[in-house]
A and B are shown apart, each in its own frame.
Chain A
Amino acid sequence: MVTTRFMELRKRRGLMVALILVTVGIPTVFLAIRLLLHAFAPKTYGPAGGYDIYTALVSGVLYVFGFIVAATLGATAGSADLTEGMFRHLVVTGRSRLALYVARIPAGLAIVVPLVAVGFTIVCAVCVFASPTRLNFNGVNVPVNLSRAGLENWAADHADEVICNFGINISSSSPSASTIPAAINSVPCGNGSGAGPVITKRLPGSQAPPHVSQAQVREAARLIARMDYSDYTRQFLYPSDSLMIKSGLWLELEAVIGFVVGLGLGSLLGQRTVAVILMIVLEVVLTPILSRARIAHLSNLQRAVVGLATAHLAPGGLPVLGGGPGGNAGNPGLLPESTTVAVCVIIAWLVVWSVLGAWRMMTRDA
């Protein structure tokens, strides 16, 4: 029965084309344009792939559209038999209505999961194989995968670039607090090539630069590199295997939730359009608002929003819901929620909507 339900959904050509366009087409077209632009004007347009593009596409496109696609398919699976008059024929076969409902879940997931996987694979492939060859860290091309000492040595050799571009945060208790500002302020920052005015990077409140030796400048660059090393280690040319695996599973989880909830809602309402609209409103409007708003008396209710729960399960390094990197620790903008609570919320949504959809199907007049 699952096979025939799969066939029934798969044969909806218009729906399938729309779903493929959204899930696979949008990222593919976006990446294809970037590949072409980079191929024809590499100095103007950067590489098509890379870590930043990956995080943008995964958390900004596939995350939202994957959910909507899955919800649309779920709502269709939950309501099509009824609206097209096939439900009556199925009930007359004597097969339990619960079995008829349950058969739709694997059938629909057999479409949604590969669909999201294909879109995600394309994104991964382009982001890895068309990634930049050098790391752009604060506007400076830095070799990748350097150790702390390696980065410090490289910084010493490129002291001017480092001092002018890397982030500087020298506390007064630092042993070099007295000499470093002088070294920094001695480096002229600007176009650096001699053409045009030279801009001097000057720390606030510092006096005119005294004479500083080259060794002091190199030492200052080392110090800055040491301070920025932790940020440097979070910069990648392309996403790591671990991040891609976690992101893929996370996207599939989101798609499964979208399908199961859409199926339940579609079955409950007995029609597709309203169910899809409600799901889109939930994902695109309500979830971002409720995940960031601080409403003291409704915080537990806010935590019950499934989008917030899935955002908390996002792999570290992915910006979700329009904010910083996912997960509790990395995204202070999100309403705090423990992983356990997030998992419970997701399970509750899956169970409650499945029960509601199945109940309506079992009690509905055919």
Chain B
Amino acid sequence: MTTTTQPTPGKLGADTQWAVETHGLTKRFGENVAVNGVELLVPRGCAFGYLGPNGAGKTTLIRVLLGLTRADAGSMFLLGYSVPRHRATALARVGAIVDEPRFHGHLTGRQNLQILAAAREPAARVRIEPSLERVGILHRADDKVSKYSMGMRQRLGVAACLIGDPQLLILDEPMNGLDPAGMQDMREMILSLVAEGRTVVLSSHLLDEVERTCDAVAIVDRGNVVRQGPISELLAGASLMVQVECSEPHRARTILEGTNIGAHIEVGQIGLGITLPVGTAREVIAEINRVLVHDGISVYRLQEIQASLESWFLQVTSRLGSEE
């Protein structure tokens, strides 16, 4: 692996503020660049969402970070340790679920964890019982995994992460296969893990779950990280949306297009949907109301729409309207 960007020197282990740090990380599959010079900084002690459409390279990046496949270029650090140079040291404090969690079906959940614990430090064996209890499958721990539902295998996957007492958890679509109660449990568990000072990287396409769970996100599209940062800051930079219920919506649209507010206006069944440019002052909303009333349009309701992570995600990704 070649290094395209020199990392900040002198940061090792607990000294660094980043749980995950990548510079120019690249992974190619033939002509296809799955991860393209990714610069990613995941702060310690937070829940970090990693979002992207299908095929954006989310899972590939995780696989590269965990040493499941080799990077073609770039450098990366987990918990401050250079990977793959100090891979064993770094991964000793990392737990991860990648893709669908699969285990030996002929063994029980507990026996699968015993195998994984044996590959870790001796103390990991002691953590099997608490981990099973924490993810809520202790009562099924002695059943064969082949009899587990998808949701239970997800929980077992999280338990497998926890037996290493990880400082960093990387969870790839952990909500898959979970029922609503299971998703609620998972969300609470992630928040509790963060409350304990651990870092959780959550790769998901369930934007509302990420928005409810994570403090910061990165949006990846076509192998590139296109935005990253705290959700509140990112949404502050989103376009301002205004919904207007009024009489004569078509005339109202013509009137507003004649002004200099620079908005994108769509006519709907009950009124107008107005998208204002990023950075527009909220006073413009009052100005819209004044202009419409002045020209004889009856305004019944005027509502500022809070930008959601989903709407912002669709704005910044190049795959507007894709299945995700």
Hey, which bits of chain A sit against chain B, CB under 8 A? 1, 3-5, 7-8, 11-13, 80, 84-86, 88-96, 100, 365-366
Expressed in whole angstroms, the Cα–Cα distance for A91 and B120 within the complex equals 10
CB contacts (< 8 Å) of A366 on chain B: these are: 63, 67-69
A92 adjacent to B115 (CB under 8 Å): no
Which secondary structure dominates where chain A touches chain B?
Answer: helix
With A1-B118, A100-B119 known as contacts, the answer to whether A86 contacts B102 (CB < 8 A) is yes
Binds A, one of B88-96, B129-137, B216-224: B88-96
For B103, give the chain A residue with the smallest CB separation: A86
1/0 per residue, CB under 8 A from A, across B105-142: the answer is 11100011011111110000000000000000000000
For A1, give the chain B residue with the smallest CB separation: B118
With A93-B116, A93-B120, A94-B88 known as contacts, the answer to whether A11 contacts B164 (CB < 8 A) is no
Nearest CB in chain A: distance from B62 CB, A: 10
CB contacts (< 8 Å) of A5 on chain B: these are: 115
B105 adjacent to A84 (CB under 8 Å): yes
CB contacts (< 8 Å) of B70 on chain A: these are: 365
A91 adjacent to B115 (CB under 8 Å): no
Expressed in whole angstroms, the Cα–Cα distance for A95 and B90 within the complex equals 11
Nearest CB in chain A: distance from B168 CB, A: 11
Hey, which bits of chain B sit against chain A, CB under 8 A? 63, 66-70, 87-92, 94-96, 98-107, 111-112, 114-120, 160, 164
Nearest CB in chain A: distance from B196 CB, A: 20
B119 adjacent to A90 (CB under 8 Å): yes
Nearest CB in chain B: distance from A80 CB, A: 7
B103 adjacent to A365 (CB under 8 Å): no
Within 8 Å by CB of A91, from B67, B92, B95, B106, lies: B67
Q: Can you list 17 A-B pairs with a CB-CB distance of less than 8 A?
A: A4-B117, A7-B115, A8-B107, A80-B104, A86-B103, A88-B68, A88-B99, A89-B103, A90-B116, A91-B67, A92-B96, A93-B120, A93-B164, A94-B87, A95-B88, A366-B68, A366-B69
Expressed in whole angstroms, the Cα–Cα distance for A62 and B119 within the complex equals 35
The 9 tightest CB contacts between A and B, nearest first, are A85-B102, A94-B91, A366-B68, A4-B118, A93-B119, A95-B119, A365-B69, A94-B88, A1-B118
Within 8 Å by CB of A12, from B66, B96, B106, B112, lies: B106
Nearest CB in chain B: distance from A77 CB, A: 12
B106 adjacent to A4 (CB under 8 Å): no
Within 8 Å by CB of B114, from A7, A80, A90, A96, lies: A7
For A97, give the chain B residue with the smallest CB separation: B67
Residue with the greatest number of chain B CB neighbours at <10 A, chosen from A1, A84, A88, A89 = A89
Expressed in whole angstroms, the Cα–Cα distance for A91 and B96 within the complex equals 10
Expressed in whole angstroms, the Cα–Cα distance for A88 and B100 within the complex equals 11
CB contacts (< 8 Å) of B119 on chain A: these are: 1, 90, 93, 95, 100
Expressed in whole angstroms, the Cα–Cα distance for A11 and B145 within the complex equals 13
B69 adjacent to A92 (CB under 8 Å): no
B104 adjacent to A92 (CB under 8 Å): no
With A80-B104, A91-B66 known as contacts, the answer to whether A86 contacts B94 (CB < 8 A) is no
Residue with the greatest number of chain A CB neighbours at <10 A, chosen from B89, B92, B116, B164 = B116
CB contacts (< 8 Å) of B111 on chain A: these are: 4, 7-8, 11
B102 adjacent to A92 (CB under 8 Å): no
Expressed in whole angstroms, the Cα–Cα distance for A241 and B160 within the complex equals 51
Expressed in whole angstroms, the Cα–Cα distance for A100 and B118 within the complex equals 10
B120 adjacent to A95 (CB under 8 Å): yes
CB contacts (< 8 Å) of B117 on chain A: these are: 4
CB contacts (< 8 Å) of A12 on chain B: these are: 106
Within 8 Å by CB of A86, from B88, B100, B115, lies: B115
With A8-B115, A86-B115, A95-B119 known as contacts, the answer to whether A13 contacts B69 (CB < 8 A) is no
Expressed in whole angstroms, the Cα–Cα distance for A7 and B119 within the complex equals 14
A11 adjacent to B107 (CB under 8 Å): yes
With A11-B107, A86-B103, A92-B98 known as contacts, the answer to whether A4 contacts B115 (CB < 8 A) is yes
Expressed in whole angstroms, the Cα–Cα distance for A12 and B114 within the complex equals 16
Expressed in whole angstroms, the Cα–Cα distance for A3 and B103 within the complex equals 18
A4 adjacent to B98 (CB under 8 Å): no
Nearest CB in chain B: distance from A84 CB, A: 5
Nearest CB in chain A: distance from B262 CB, A: 50
Nearest CB in chain A: distance from B28 CB, A: 13
For B157, give the chain A residue with the smallest CB separation: A89
B98 adjacent to A88 (CB under 8 Å): yes
Expressed in whole angstroms, the Cα–Cα distance for A80 and B150 within the complex equals 20
Q: A88-B99, A365-B69 are in contact. List 11 more A-B contacts (CB 8 A).
A: A1-B118, A8-B111, A11-B107, A80-B104, A85-B102, A88-B102, A89-B101, A90-B119, A92-B91, A95-B119, A100-B119
Expressed in whole angstroms, the Cα–Cα distance for A4 and B104 within the complex equals 12
Nearest CB in chain A: distance from B107 CB, A: 6
A86 adjacent to B98 (CB under 8 Å): no
